[in-house]
Amino acid sequence: MLLNLNIIDLAVVKSLDLDLDKGMSVLTGETGAGKSILLTALGLALGDRADSGYVRPESKRAEVNLEFDLSDAPNAQQWLIDNELDDLQQCLIRRVVNQDGRSKAYINDRPVTLQSLQELSEKLVEIHGQHAHLTLLNADEQRRLLDNYAQNTNLIDQLNAGYKAWFTTHKELERCVKANTDQSDREEFLTYQIAELELLDLAHYNYAALVEEHSKIANLGQILATGQKHVDILFENDQLSVNQMLNRSVSDLSSLCQYAPELNEICALLTEAQIQTEEAAIQLRRFLESQEADPQYLESLESKLGVIQNLSRKHHVSPDELPQLLNTLQTELHNLTHSGDRIEILQKEVVELRTKYTKLANQLTKQRQAGAQKLQKHISDMIKELGMPQGEFIVAISALDSDTPKLNGLDKIDYLISANPGLPPKPLAKVASGGELSRISLAIQVTTSNDKTTPTLIFDEVDSGIGGGVAEIVGQKLRALSNNRQVMCVTHLPQVAAQAHQHLYVEKNNKTDITSSSVRLLSTDERVEEIARMLGGVTITVNTLAHAKEMLFHTTSSTPLED
């Protein structure tokens, strides 16, 4: 269960350190006092999307810390062990949001991804929002609630995995059948394209080398003329060659070495240069002698490059991608040639996968029908207690119009209600008023929560739209729900607040330039005053206080917290 909530610089909360206990806790306060920010903080710490607007003005960052006792959360303990994040029976969660909106998450002081944080959070806390009655009108939500109640999660995972396998194989079969329909024309076209590409001898294909070779031969005249010119300059010109000038320099400087021995090293360098120059000239001459203009070879290269460029444009690929294109076309031709065999294999696979899917879907339908019988009885009994004495809640399960495999099975699930005797049941959206829908939603949430292993449940104003004796029953249901788990409830109803084991009061402080909210645990006398305020509004009379005291002490004496 949640032991401590610590908030620093989040929205209207500058600093808050709140210890929580087992049983039922309520949060009350004036409208706008900041009750919702506590749920915002919890949601943020549990993996909700971060936003820079959460950071309190003039602060660098916002931070939320949660401390959990895992003795009542075996699933969370196992998750931490599996992810190497366990720390005995304790779990610390921290979420930090910076001014730029970026956030970091930590579990037991180790950084984790947001996905990991959300996976763990699902095993620790479940939040029922104040608009749950509106989402109840959604068909997917009705299916989800029934499947959770009937514990169908594992079966649905198997079913959906089977659906995806069937869908993938079915689509491949459709593609093969379509290709097989005009196979002859396609085969002829592919054969022609492959033959075109094979003329290029792509096994020994090097486009870059061909371009380089063509460039060299196309410029051979310039290469020969410039090369011969520099053979003359370097060596063959008897009067002005580089070799002759170096020879002269060596001769002149060598005669001076007897007077300046330092010149010996310079002469050695010039001699080396003379040798290198002569070697370079000899290699250049040999290169020029090996070159021979071949107009026919140049024409052949130009023709080959022209074919390559034409095929490249035709197939919308670069010249370097032509070998890969040939492989692709050959693979397609091979598949077409053997498509009959492939179609036969795929047809068998589709039948097998569909049979497996149908078996799982039928099993899911049976489990849903069994769960629906129990769920509708529990909900019907509870809404009678919640001020709908003639109400009958029905979970209708019918087959979809098509037996083609679909995600989540082949059932159409509708929640129906008959508010008065003699009237046929109709969908919730067509029958239930806002108040009735709130009661039905609350009944579903309380009923489906009984069988869950989540140790902490949070209800955010789910009691809106009700009052009087019904509100007291709602409070009793929530208190009973807290016998084996922790329940937190944000409420405006004194009848619900009186049922709590722990009463937290949220108040706003406007004394400074920046508004702030704080939360404190109320003593018994303070609880009487707060319940009286919720009962009587602005003017609190002696009778109002007496009524509040009677509500509070009647509750605490009749239903003590179980150990």
Q: What is the total residue count of the chain?
A: 563
Asked if 452 contacts 458 with a C-beta cutoff of 8 angstroms, the reply is no
Residue 91 falls inside a structural domain: no
- The confidence score (pLDDT) of residue 134 equals 64
Tell me, yes or no, whether 64 lies in a domain: no
For residue 514, pLDDT beyond 70: no
pLDDT at 451: 63
The burial of 459, by beta-carbon neighbours within 10 Å (0-12 exposed, 13-18 middle, 19 or more buried), is given as buried
User: Which stretch, 127-131, 240-244, 341-345, 358-362, has highest mean pLDDT?
Assistant: 358-362
Q: What's the mean pLDDT when you consider all of the chain? A: 84
**At 219, is the pLDDT very low, low, confident or very high (cuts 50, 70, 90)?**
confident
* Alpha helix ranges (H) inside 255-321: 263-290, 295-315
pLDDT of 407 over the 70 cut: yes
Which residue from 375, 394, 502 is spatially nearest to 450, judged by alpha carbons?
375
- Asked whether the whole model's pTM tops 0.75, one would answer no
Phi, psi at 239, each rounded to 5°? -95, -45
In a domain, 384, yes or no: no
- pLDDT reading at 389 higher than 80: yes
Q: Which of 23, 18, 37 is nearest to 487 (CA)?
A: 23
Interior angle at CA 204, CA 212 and CA 323, nearest 5: 95
pLDDT at 412 over 90: yes
DSSP state, 461? Answer: S
Q: Which helix (DSSP H) or strand (DSSP E) does residue 90 occupy?
A: strand 90-98
Domain membership of residue 303 (yes or no) is yes
Which pLDDT tens digit goes with each residue over 63-102?
A: 999 999 988 888 888 899 999 888 776 799 999 999 888 9
Strand order in the sheet with 426-427: 392-399, 411-418, 426-427
Select the highest-mean-pLDDT range: 159-163, 398-402, 479-483. Answer: 159-163
pLDDT band at residue 474 using 50, 70 and 90 as cut-offs: confident
- Residue 343 located in a structural domain: no
Q: How far, in Å, CA of 76 to CA of 120, rounded?
A: 6
Residue located via tokens 């059932």: 411
Give one word for 400, left, alpha or beta, with left for phi > 0 and alpha for psi -120 to 50: beta
- 13-19 sheet: strands from edge to edge: 13-19, 2-10, 61-69, 90-98, 103-107, 110-112
Residue 367: what pLDDT? 96
Provide the H-helix boundaries in 58-113.
74-82
Q: Are 448 and 472 in contact (CB under 8 A)?
A: no
Q: What total number of domains does the chain contain?
A: 1
The predicted pLDDT at position 338 comes to 66
Per the model's pLDDT, the better-predicted residue between 50 and 436 turns out to be: 50
- Window from 44-58, 103-117, 130-144 with minimum mean pLDDT: 130-144
| pLDDT at residue 471 is higher than 70 | yes
Please provide residue 33's backbone torsions phi and psi, each rounded to the nearest 5 degrees: -70, -20
Span of 261-265, 428-432, 468-472 with lowest mean pLDDT: 428-432
Q: What is the mean pLDDT of residues 406-425?
A: 87
Question: Residue range 530-545: average pLDDT?
Answer: 83
Predicted confidence (pLDDT) at residue 308 exceeds the cutoff of 60: yes
Residue-range definition of the domain harbouring residue 281 = 186-337
Q: Is residue 400 part of a domain?
A: no
Q: Which residue has the higher pLDDT, 180 or 369?
A: 369
Q: Taking residues 343-365, report their average pLDDT.
A: 94
**Residue 548 to residue 373: CA distance in whole angstroms:** 40
Checking if the pLDDT of 563 tops 50, the result is: no
Residue range 232-245: mean pLDDT, rounded? 80
Both tokens assigned to 517: 């909210």
